[in-house]
Amino acid sequence: MLAKLCKKAFPRSLWAYHCNAGACNGCDIEILNVLTPYYDIERFGMKLVASPRHADVMLISGAVTRPTFPLVKKAYEAIPEPKLVFGIGSCAAGGGCWFDCYNVTGGADKAVPVNYIIPGCPPRPEAIIYGVALALGLVEKKASPVELKQVEFPVDMYLKNKAYEERDVIYQVLNR
């Protein structure tokens, strides 16, 4: 659904604005890496731009820290509609290993609405290209969603085991 919309909304070249909201540099280097000759994202017409006002897409890396929080919001507002937001890396996905530290707000979705998340620490350049291509409907989705159900802990099983254990204790006492 969103992929179809994206195809309509972004029929031509996609310009991306990269916003580092307190990342460790790992994801940022991989984002720059997709520009280099091996990965060469410009063959899809995508490129990085310096100003959010030129961009269609915002790539956020890093667990949004307190000082960058209002700035990320401002950068998001500066991007003209229609726009897409990608969270790149585990930190942007949910705050990473410091999700609840005193200086971290915990993930890009706390600051701005995030449309797609590319996980990894850091994600490979291929993963970034695949994620963006998937969003634009350039490739087919390879994985189907898996539904996880909450399973209740089998209480009877626990009681049964306990009964067996207790029975063993009784036998031990009797045999003594």
Partner 1 sequence: MLTIEEVKTRLKNKYQSAVKKFEQPYGTRLYADIDKSKVREISNEIIGMGGRYLVSVGYDNIARDKTLGLIHAFSLDRDDIFVCLRTAAPVDNPTFDSITPDIPNAGWSEREYMDLLGMKFSGHPKPKRLILADDWPEGVYPLRKEVPWNLMPPPAENVAYQLDEAPEGCTTIPVGPFHPTLHEPAHFAVYVDGETIKGCDYRGFMVHRGLEKLCQTQLTYNEIPFVAERICGICGSVHATSYSQAVEMAAGFRISRRAEFIRTIMLEIERVHSHLLWLGVAGHLIGFDTIFMQAWRVREAIMWFGEKLTGNRKTYGMIVVGGVRRDISPELKDELLGILKTIEKELVTIHKAIVGDSSIHRRTKGVGRITTDETRLWSLVGPVARARGVDIDTRRDHPYAAYDEMRFDVPVVDSCDVWGTVVVRILETFEAIKIIRQALDTMPAGPTMTEFAEDIKPYQHAITAVEAPRGEVVHYLISGEENRPERWRVRAPTYPNLQGVPAMLLGDQFADLPIIIGSIDPCFSCTDRVVKVDIRSGRISNLTGGELETISRAKKLAGR
Collapse the DSSP code of 65 into the 3-class scheme (helix H, G, I; strand E, B; otherwise coil) and give the result.
Answer: strand
What residues numbered 109-128 form the site for partner 1, per CB under 8 A?
121-122, 124
Q: Position of tokens 């994202």?
A: 41
Q: How far is the CB of 48 from partner 1 (least distance, A)?
A: 9
Binding of partner 1 by 69 (CB under 8 A): yes
Q: How far is the CB of 140 from partner 1 (least distance, A)?
A: 26
158 near 64, Cβ under 8 Å?
Answer: no
Q: How far is the CB of 113 from partner 1 (least distance, A)?
A: 19
Using left for φ > 0, alpha for ψ between -120 and 50, and beta otherwise, residue 84 falls in: beta
* Chosen residue from 68, 93, 112, 117 binding partner 1 by CB under 8 A: 68
| Cis-peptide, bond into residue 122, ω within 30° of zero | yes
* Chosen residue from 1, 50, 146, 174 binding partner 1 by CB under 8 A: 50
Binding of partner 1 by 53 (CB under 8 A): no
Binding of partner 1 by 19 (CB under 8 A): yes
Longest CA–CA span in the chain (Å) reads 85
Total binding residues for partner 1 by CB under 8 A?
40
Question: Which backbone phi and psi does 57 adopt, to 5 degrees?
Answer: -130, 145
Question: In sequence order, what are the residues at sequence separation of 6 or more whose Cβ sits closer than 8 angstroms to the Cβ of residue 102?
Answer: none
Residue closer to partner 1, measured from CB, 120 or 137: 120
Residue closer to partner 1, measured from CB, 65 or 117: 65
